[in-house]
């Protein structure tokens, strides 16, 4: 089931995200987060923008949300999309379901542009974004340093604006 996040999800979300902080370059954060940190992040997004979770048998398997691309008012129709899954459920279509639901909600809110930043290499994330029509528009070399190495970041964008 995909639903809107609630405060009680913060512990599960922190556990999912902390796996990536400790073991992956998908995020450039290096210190684990707490449930309170996640609650603050949720409050910064909801209700203005969607934050969704995928729940199965009472357990959060993943989450996706949109955040402001830039706080300046002229950017109000552009957002950044984010998705994270429990490590053991990758490749089961949950990320696609979350992104599909997130994009539908953003389109209903008259968002025009959705931007996804991807630490590289990350073939799975690239495939997910490109599956939904995101196109690569930027590549920044060696902008992050984690696990003793320099990491590139690519940016993909998707127009969800209907012309006419």
% of the chain residues with pLDDT over 70: 98
- Residue 20, sorted as left (phi over 0), alpha (psi -120 to 50) or beta, turns out to be alpha
Which residue, 160, 82, 70, 75, is CA-closest to 125?
82
Q: How far apart are CA 49 and CA 69, in angstroms?
A: 12
Average pLDDT for 123-151: 96
Residues 6+ apart with CB under 8 A from 64: 51, 52, 81, 82, 83, 84, 95, 98, 99, 101, 102
Average pLDDT over the chain reads: 95
Q: How far apart are CA 54 and CA 35, in angstroms?
A: 18
pLDDT tens-digit profile of 43-98? 999 999 999 999 999 999 999 999 999 999 999 999 999 999 999 887 789 999 99
Is the pLDDT score of 163 beyond 60? no
- β-partners of residue 80 are 67, 115
| CATH top class, domain 2-159 | alpha beta
Q: Which residue's structure tokens are 């405060």? A: 7
> What pLDDT, on the 0 to 100 scale, is given for residue 162?
65
pLDDT tens-digit profile of 7-49? 999 999 999 999 999 999 999 999 999 999 999 999 999 999 9
């Amino acid at each position: 089931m995909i639903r809107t996040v609630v405060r009680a999800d913060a512990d599960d979300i922190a556990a999912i995200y902390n796996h990536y902080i400790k073991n992956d370059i998908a995020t450039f954060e290096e210190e684990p987060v707490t449930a309170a940190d996640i609650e603050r992040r949720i409050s910064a997004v909801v209700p203005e923008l969607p934050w969704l979770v995928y729940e199965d048998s009472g357990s959060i398997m993943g989450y996706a949300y949109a955040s402001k691309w830039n706080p300046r008012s002229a950017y109000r129709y552009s957002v950044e999309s984010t998705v994270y899954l429990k490590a053991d459920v990758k490749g089961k279509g949950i990320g696609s379901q979350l992104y599909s639901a997130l994009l539908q909600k953003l389109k209903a809110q008259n968002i025009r542009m959705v931007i996804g930043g991807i630490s590289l290499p990350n073939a799975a994330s690239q495939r997910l974004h490109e599956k939904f029509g995101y196109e690569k528009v930027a590549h920044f070399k060696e902008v992050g340093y984690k696990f003793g190495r320099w990491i590139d970041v690519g940016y993909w964008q998707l127009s969800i604006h209907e012309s006419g």
